[in-house]
C-alpha cells in the first residue's frame, strides 16, 4: 500500500506519493520572475525562496511543496483534495502520447480517472 496525496488542477484529478510532499501553502504572495522558464509560475518568499512550477495556461490557489531527489519546489494546483491509500495493483500503466513522462500511471476509481504524477519528472521541469 502506498499513501498518495490527491489534488486537482485544471479540472483533472491527480495524485503523487505522500513521501514526496512536504507541505501545502497558499499561492498568495507568489512573485512573478521577470524572465520565467516555460513551466515556472513564480516564486514564494522564504529562506530559500521556493520556485513554483505549473503547466502552461493553468493557475491555482494552492502550492503543493514537493521534494524530489535534492530538489524542493512548489507545484501550483487548484486544491489538495486529501489522502488515498493505493495498492500497486490499483495503478494502471502510464498513458501513451506524452512528450514527457509526467504521468506515470492511472487509477480508475469507478467515478473518475486519477493521473499518478512522477515527482522526479516534475522536477525535470525546473
Q: For the chain, how big is the Rg over CA atoms in Å?
A: 14
Mean pLDDT of the residues in the chain: 92
- 104-118: pLDDT as tens digits: 999 998 888 999 999
33 and 45 Cβ atoms separated by less than 8 Å:
no
The pTM assigned to this predicted structure is 0.90
Classify the C-alpha dihedral 21-22-28-34 as positive or negative: negative
* Per-residue pLDDT reduced to its tens digit, 63-111: 999 999 899 999 999 999 999 999 999 999 988 888 777 899 999 988 8
User: Which of 18, 26, 9 shows the shortest CA–CA distance to 84?
Assistant: 18
Amino acid at each position: 500500500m502506498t499513501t498518495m496525496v490527491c489534488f486537482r488542477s485544471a479540472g483533472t484529478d491527480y495524485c503523487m506519493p505522500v513521501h514526496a510532499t512536504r507541505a501545502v501553502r497558499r499561492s498568495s504572495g507568489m512573485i512573478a520572475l521577470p524572465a520565467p522558464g516555460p513551466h515556472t509560475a513564480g516564486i514564494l518568499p522564504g529562506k530559500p525562496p521556493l520556485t513554483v512550477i505549473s503547466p502552461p495556461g493553468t493557475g491555482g490557489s494552492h502550492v503543493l511543496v514537493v521534494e524530489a531527489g535534492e530538489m524542493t519546489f512548489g507545484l501550483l494546483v487548484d486544491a489538495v483534495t486529501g489522502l488515498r491509500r493505493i495498492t500497486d495493483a490499483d495503478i494502471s500503466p502510464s498513458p501513451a502520447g506524452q512528450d514527457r513522462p509526467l504521468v506515470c500511471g492511472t487509477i480508475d476509481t469507478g467515478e473518475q480517472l486519477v493521473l499518478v504524477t512522477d515527482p522526479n519528472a516534475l522536477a525535470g521541469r525546473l
